[in-house]
Copies of this chain bind each other. A is one copy, B any other.
């Protein structure tokens, strides 16, 4: 049976989301996997209130995840120093279901370095010996690509980093390709 991959990531918010989804699905097909893009759900939103539309899309996405064998999550920083929260939710969801997870980020800079760069004055050492930002909020310094719950869910060889060119952070598929090759080894 051909394995189905849930393609999580914030590219669903881009104007060319559907074209990107098609490109990702074509790359899946090329290695013998079936890609399922979050916008693939067959959701009838007619006549629904905004919130009910959101809920219907949520249910469709959850249904698609349940029917997938693995997830490839795009953890590229989105609207801040961390990954998209919807993608983080989905990585947690699939991890709890015991589905294999692969992930990539198109930002190769470690999380601690990204957080440290947010303040012009740089980070400082808090009274408790913890590296912290200007608001005294801890800077996680675990040699990881993002919050430890995200990176920690991924074993060695399941997370791929690539520094995309400026403007290509959400669309570059180099590291996605590396995820696909790793996934292919698990689902030959």
Contact pattern, A 137-154, Cβ under 8 Å of B = 1, otherwise 0: 110111110111111110
Interface residue from B59, B81, B137, B151 paired with A13 (Cβ < 8 Å): B137
Copies in the complex: 2
Given known A-B contacts A92-B96, A138-B13, A86 and B150 have beta carbons under 8 A apart = yes
Q: Which residues of B lie under 8 Å from residue A82 when comparing CB positions?
A: 79-80, 84-85
What's the least CB distance linking A1 to chain B, in Å?
22
Q: Which residues of B lie under 8 Å from residue A126 when comparing CB positions?
A: 15
Report if A51 contacts B (CB, 8 A). yes
Q: Which residues of B lie under 8 Å from residue A96 when comparing CB positions?
A: 92-97
> What is A's interface to B at a CB cutoff of 8 Å?
10, 12-15, 49-51, 53-55, 57-59, 61, 79-86, 88-97, 115, 118, 126-128, 130, 132, 136-138, 140-144, 146-153
